[in-house]
């Protein structure tokens, strides 16, 4: 592989690291929302009396579940695009390397180049006998 192309690939992957870290943070937020939506609301004891959970606690639970689902869908799309871009960069690097190998395979050998550079002898062109007279 060409070192310059490989270096460019590594730099571009490194440039994607902040985006990858951001997606990991968003995934953690979605996980927290999903966990909160799985917890059932609990009633409380106030003095000697039990107070049942409010309907707003149930609504909050539903909103957490909805937010977690929408957040996960958005993250799935981001991860898909991220992976496609990463794959495209790697495929470009591989195709460049493959093309370079093909060019090297079709390149003439040093013996062929030497044969191309030698001037063939033309009989009679430099007859030394004619010039000795």
118 phi/psi in degrees, rounded to 5: -80, 140
Structural domain containing residue 48: 3-96
Residue 125 lies in a domain: no
State the pLDDT at residue 130. 58
Q: How many domains does the chain have?
A: 1
Q: Which of 3, 12, 4, 7 is nearest to 89 (CA)?
A: 12
Alpha-helical (H) ranges within the chain are 3-15, 17-38, 55-106, 110-117, 128-131
- The predicted model scores a pTM of 0.56
Over residues 71-118, the pLDDT tens digits come to: 999 999 999 998 898 888 888 878 877 777 777 777 777 776 777 666
Residue 109 lies in a domain: no
> What CATH code is carried by the domain that includes residue 22?
1.10.287
């Amino acid at each position: 592989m060409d070192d310059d192309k490989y270096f460019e690939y590594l730099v571009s992957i490194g440039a994607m690291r902040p985006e990858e870290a951001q997606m990991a943070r968003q995934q953690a937020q979605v996980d927290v929302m999903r966990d909160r939506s799985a917890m059932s609301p609990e009633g409380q004891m106030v003095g000697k009396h039990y107070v049942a959970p409010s309907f707003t606690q149930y609504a909050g639970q539903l909103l957490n579940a909805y937010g977690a689902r929408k957040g996960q869908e958005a993250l799935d799309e981001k991860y898909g695009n991220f992976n496609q871009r990463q794959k495209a960069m790697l495929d470009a690097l591989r195709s460049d390397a493959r093309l370079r190998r093909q060019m090297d395979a079709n390149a003439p050998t040093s013996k062929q180049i030497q044969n191309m550079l030698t001037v063939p002898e033309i009989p009679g062109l430099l007859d030394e006998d004619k010039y000795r007279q």
